[in-house]
Amino acid sequence: MNAPFPTVESTAAPLRLIIAAPRGFCAGVDRAIEIVERALVRFGAPVYVRHEIVHNQFVVDGLRAKGAIFVEELDEVPDGAPVIFSAHGVPKAVPAAATERGLAWVDATCPLVSKVHRQAERQIEAGRHIVFVGHRGHPEVIGTVGQVPEGTITLVETEADVAALDFPAGTGLAFLTQTTLSVDDTAGIIAALKARFPDIAGPKAEDICYATSNRQAAVKAIAPECELVLVIGAPNSSNSLRLVEVAQRSGVCSELIQRASDIDPRWLDGISTLGLTAGASAPEQLVREVVARIAEFRQITEETVVTAEENMVFKLPRQLAD
């Protein structure tokens, strides 16, 4: 639950708007969207996409208008049609089934998620059981669990889940994590795993992606100066929800919004400093839309706080590369 909003009467004083940077699209999202757009040019419309390519309705609607058709399962894709797998990754059985049907498929899985998939395979080859830190039901978790044989991976979401683990003596263990988790929460869970299982193996570098870490750090930087932080993102976007939590844990009210129309003008009553950020699936266009909407209610002074520079670019799949 969010903390209650201040009840100070509305004021006409200028509103200081602090915009976090980095924010918005990450390299994996940029790549996934470009894959769909290039596939539409290469194959012609329609192109089918299994699951939302990224968790943002504005982006999905834009691609749908260009000829993309979004489906949840492979059996919804007609024979002979091209299909793209979302940035979150899919179980191994999905591309295998697509190949068996003779479908032309393109994998838009974020390379940082694919790296976790390869780590999972290597741990199983080494004879270890994997403890995977993630949110049950999230597409990325489903995709990662589907990389390894059934029964070789156990999902944990909290430190309490770690305490409840029960493995036979001598079981070799390794841990991996979803890429879009809370940095702080995950650190606590990993610490609990290492305390409970001192010999557990882990990745050389953390699995939480650079964009997730950077956006959370940016919110931590601006939150102490704000009375309210707005996060642009979808309710099914893990990294966006984590940004809301980061702000709230800094003692600041925070709201998740998908579009400028979600803003309740009453939120701005008594507010002198407002923070703004966007999840990794939200385009900069929505940030500017929100700024324009706020300016309809209050005179604003806008500033950007930069905590990191991002210049990551991922290669496209060979089918779509120039």
- The tokens of 169 are what? 């003596």
What's the rounded Cα separation, in Å, for the pair 67 and 269? 43
Q: Which residues of 80-109 are buried (b: 16+ CB within 10 A; e: fewer)?
A: eebbbbbbbbbbeebbebbeeeebbbbbbb
Place of tokens 């390299």: 27
What's the rounded Cα separation, in Å, for the pair 159 and 157? 7
**Cα torsion through 72, 74, 78, 81, rounded to 10:** 100
Active-site residue, selected from the candidate residues 37, 76, 140, 302: 140
Q: Is 140 a catalytic residue?
A: yes
If you compute the radius of gyration of the chain from its CA atoms, what whole number of angstroms results? 21
Beta strands per DSSP E along the chain = 15-21, 47-50, 68-71, 83-85, 105-107, 129-133, 153-156, 173-177, 228-232, 253-257, 273-278, 300-306
Place of tokens 């940077």: 21
- Catalytic residue set: 140
